[in-house]
Each structure stands twice: as C-alpha cells, then as structure tokens.
Amino acid sequence: MKIFITGASGYIGGSVARRLVAAGHAVRGLTRDAAKAGGLARLGIAPVVGSLDDAPLLTAEAQAADAVINAADSDHRGAAEALIAALAGSGRALIHTSGSSIMADSAAGEASDVIYDDTVFDLPGRFTPVAEKAARVAIDRLVLDAAGRGVRASVLCNTLIYGTGLGIAAESVQVPTLAAIARRHGRPRHVGRGRNIWSNVHIDDVAALYLAALERGAGGFFFVESGEASFHDLTASLGAALGLPPPAPWPIAEAVAELGYTRALFSYGSNSRVRGRRARAELGFAPAAEPLGVWITRAYGGG
C-alpha cells in the first residue's frame, strides 16, 4: 500500500514508518524540518516537507495515498479536519494517534482503582475528561465519527511509551525526562507519594499494532498497552539502574515549577490505567517486548 504518515521524523511516527517500510509498504512521511528529509530518505521513507497547518498539502497527500496515519500532534484539530475531509467517501483508512493522558485524573501522586477499556467511547457519558484534556477527546471523537462520512477511521491511544525508537528520534518523553531529573537532583523524584499508576507499552509493540490496524482494516478506538506500573516503582527502577539513592517525594508545587503545570500534573502526577482488550481481540495485539522495569535496568544500567 501507499501510506502517508505525518510526524515521520518523530518518535512514534518514525518508528511506525520504519515498521511499515519493513513490511513492504511505500511510505511518504511529513516532516516540518527540511534538514531531516535526507535522514528519512535513507530509512526508505519518501520525505514530504511541510506542516500540519498546510491543509492543501495534507489534502493532496491523503488523496494520493491508500491509507493515512496521523502521528504528528494529537491536539492539532485543523490537521484532523483536513485529513477527514480529504478521505471522505473513499472508504480508505485514517489512523489517528492519541494518548492515554485523556484518561488522566488530578491525583497528584495518589493511586486510583479506576481502569478503562477501549469500549470507553462506545456510549456517551462513559467518562468525562478533565478540562485540560477535553479538546483532545473532542478530536478523538471527531475522527471516530468520520466513519459516518465514509472513512475507515481508527484512533490508537498510546500509553506511556518506552524503548529506543526505530526512526530518527530515538527517545520517548516520560522516562528520559525522569532519568534527567534523577541525575539533576542526585536521586529520582516522583510527584507526591508516587502511588499513581500509568499503563505502558514498548515502542516496538506500538509499531506492530499500527501495522496490524492498517493491514487488518478494523476501525474504532484502541488502547495501546502491555502492562502498568506506579511512578514510585518506575523511579525506583531508574534509581537502581543509575546507581542513585531511592526515589524521594516531589511536592506538586516544586514539580510544577520545574516541569510546568500540565506536565507535572498529568504526565507525571496522574493515573492513567487502561486495558487494550479490543486491540487484542480485533487486531490480534500480542505484546512481545521486554517489560518496562526490565528495559530500564538494561537501558540505564551503569548510569
């Protein structure tokens, strides 16, 4: 198939693009940075230099492709609208990337026993996002509703991703940031008591699921996860691997001062516990990569 993917020079998009190329698909990848075009070409990805704000470019690329994957920015509504309009009535696939922070609470490091599965969008009122995530949820719903406009629409909602990327961008966000904080502070830190829990998944398994969603043709909403861990356990694993003391609580005000309100509260202080039951049943998702704690020990061992 001819695939157009946005975010091709990013961590998720680059990894997915490489997996598609390896599977024999012809991939055209959008990047904002012209300096990265050569790197994409060397990986077998035909570079398209442009931005998500260029609706005519997105339209032309989408209409020339057999399927489209939006992996650039989960919060860019204009890009989602342009891609949906370009594919309307075609019956072709649009796979949109979201993130499980849409399920996040305001726990500030405390635990929650609330767990969602990927039927969460099936009925109105199943959950109400915090105000800061309402716009992203609205975009996810917009994409899912495109099924009524003749688009085979899917939303893949990734959890905390770890592992070395397959494309130009090698690092994810959450774990490397926590490692940098640990080195800077001389010990790992977790927001509050660190009892909050996030589901997680290795980037290799993420790329495998995008390929399955593309080739199996199923539409709908899918969580991408293979396990879960508390931030206390995550930072403890980091501390042990880096040869640092055990993790210490991080008062929310100090975390906000260093990371910003949204990142401190939702990326590191919230709970986001989900189960990809539909991903397993409909897409045959069978995570095979090493668990988060094992990967941290291997990746950060020796400091």
pLDDT in tens, the chain (303 residues): 999 999 999 999 999 999 999 999 999 999 999 999 999 999 999 999 999 999 999 999 999 999 999 999 999 999 999 999 999 999 999 999 999 999 999 999 999 999 999 999 887 777 889 899 999 999 999 999 999 999 999 999 999 999 999 999 999 999 999 999 999 999 999 999 999 999 999 999 999 999 999 999 889 999 999 999 999 999 999 999 999 999 999 999 999 999 999 999 999 999 999 999 999 999 999 999 999 999 999 999 975
Check if the beta carbon of residue 213 is closer than 8 Å to that of residue 272: no
Task: Write b or e for each residue in 184-209: b if 16 or more Cβ atoms lie within 10 A of its Cβ, otherwise e.
Answer: eeebbbbbbbbbbbbbbbbbbbbbbb
Q: Which domain holds residue 72?
A: 2-163+200-225+273-287
- Domain membership flag for residue 244: no
Q: Give the model's pLDDT for residue 127.
A: 82
Q: What is the CATH number of the domain that holds 65?
A: 3.40.50.720
Question: How many distinct structural domains can be found in the chain?
Answer: 1
- Domain membership flag for residue 194: no
- Domain membership flag for residue 68: yes
The residue to which tokens 């500030």 are assigned: 108
Q: Give the model's pLDDT for residue 87.
A: 98
- Domain membership flag for residue 25: yes
Q: Give the model's pLDDT for residue 303.
A: 59
Q: Give the model's pLDDT for residue 121.
A: 86
- Domain membership flag for residue 300: no
- Domain membership flag for residue 33: yes
Strand-pairing partners, residue 117, are 275
The 3-state DSSP class for residue 100 equals helix
Check if the beta carbon of residue 197 is closer than 8 Å to that of residue 249: no
Give the DSSP letter of residue 10: S
Q: What confidence tens digit (pLDDT) does each residue in 46-86 have?
A: 999 999 999 999 999 999 999 999 999 999 999 999 999 99
The CA–CA distances, whole Å, from 122 to 99, 100, 157, 217 equal 18, 16, 15, 19
Q: Give the model's pLDDT for residue 210.
A: 98
Check if the beta carbon of residue 130 is closer than 8 Å to that of residue 106: yes
Where does 32-124 show beta strands of DSSP type E? 46-49, 67-70, 93-99, 116-117
The pTM for the full model equals 0.96
- Domain membership flag for residue 42: yes
- Domain membership flag for residue 39: yes
